[in-house]
Structure 1
Amino acid sequence: MNLHEFKRIILEYHREINENVNTAFRFLGVNYGLTMLQFRLLMEIYRQGPHTIGSLAEACGIAGANISTMCKKLEKQGFVRRMRDQTDERVVRIRLTDFGEGTIREIDRYLNDKLTRILANEAEETFEMITAGMGKISSLLLKMGSDDEGEVGETP
């Protein structure tokens, strides 16, 4: 396979995977009024406990200003509570409300049931191949992102 073909295939799979993730998680918006990104934030808080805006941004790889805006919206929807730190008012802490925690547990249970049903007949080797392949893609993309040679518009 040549470089051009490899690049085309990777970009096409990226598009397909994004579309399929959106389709698979469409129920979040329909049933809970959540975007995939909001769900990721809520799951991070659910798994790791309360966060600051900064720690949540870092954990999810998203700019702090965007996290702050999303958390304000999630607070209005009743999923989280935002609190100023008593020792440093610049710091905002985010925690799940009882409603938010119950919702995430419900979604997590639904996903576990669905995945268990769908993946029940898959061989262990399938999971190993998928995770190894995704790890390799992630590693290659990390190398691309950290390579400071060949920036667009520059001539070597």
Structure 2
Amino acid sequence: MTDQPKLSLRLDDQLCFALYSASHLMTKAYRPMLTALGLTYPQYLALLVLWEADDLTVGALGERLFLDSGTLTPLLKRMEAQGLVERRRDPADERQVRIRLTETGRALEAEARRHYEDMVCGLGASGDEVKALRDAVAAFRAQLANGS
């Protein structure tokens, strides 16, 4: 039988707090970049997805971001008002709304890349360390999503 570690209710022993506080600090590290780009963190995430694959349904975008359409719709409306995206009904299925980058939204990618590279350099971790940590967190997220 494998020995299980003793479970503790101390704050510093909580995995959820380690992830929460790291996420909070990571968002803080992104703040100067996001301010320079005129974006919120959720807007930046939506653009990352659209820069990978433009012209997605709201549902497909939500799946990638782990967000529901009720959360995404106001975010996308603000992005549309900023001239970053267009929202249009899918002609093949009027129930679906498709999100497409505008030229302004597409052009922001190059600027975001420059800021991102500067920000990552300031983290004090190597590219390999960042990738290994990201992969471990993504694997853990997949376990949580699968109910394991």
For normalisation by structure 2, the TM-score amounts to 0.77
Asked if 1:138 corresponds to 2:118, the answer is: no
Is residue 2:113 matched to residue 1:108? yes
Q: Which structure is richer in relative contact order (CA contacts within 8 A, separation 6 or more)? A: 2
Asked if 2 retains the 8 angstrom alpha-carbon contact of 1:28 and 1:35, the reply is no
Determine if the alignment matches structure 1 residue 4 to structure 2 residue 4: no
Question: Structure 1: which 5+ residue stretches go unaligned?
Answer: 148-156
Query: Gapped runs of 5+ residues in structure 2?
Result: none
Deviations 1:74-132 (CA, angstroms, capped at 9, x unpaired): 000111011222233222111111111111321122212432x34787384x4575246
In the aligned structure 1, how far is the partner of 2:104 from the partner of 2:67? 24
Aligned residues: 143
d(CA) in 2 for partners of 1:80, 1:105: 16
- Paired residue for 2:72? 67
Q: Which moved more, 1:78-87 or 1:132-141?
A: 132-141
Change (3 A) 1:136 1:59: closer
Identity of paired residues, percent?
Answer: 24
Q: How does 1:110-125 map to 2 (within 5 A)?
A: 110-115=115-120, 117-118=121-122, 122=126, 124=128
Q: Is residue 39 of structure 1 aligned with residue 44 of structure 2? A: yes
Q: How does 1:10-49 map to 2 (within 5 A)?
A: 10-49=15-54
Q: How much has 1:23 moved relative to structure 2?
A: 0.8
Cα root mean square deviation, aligned: 2.9
Report the equivalent of 1:81: 86
How far apart, in 1, do the equivalents of 2:127 and 2:51 lie?
30
TM, length-normalised to structure 1: 0.74
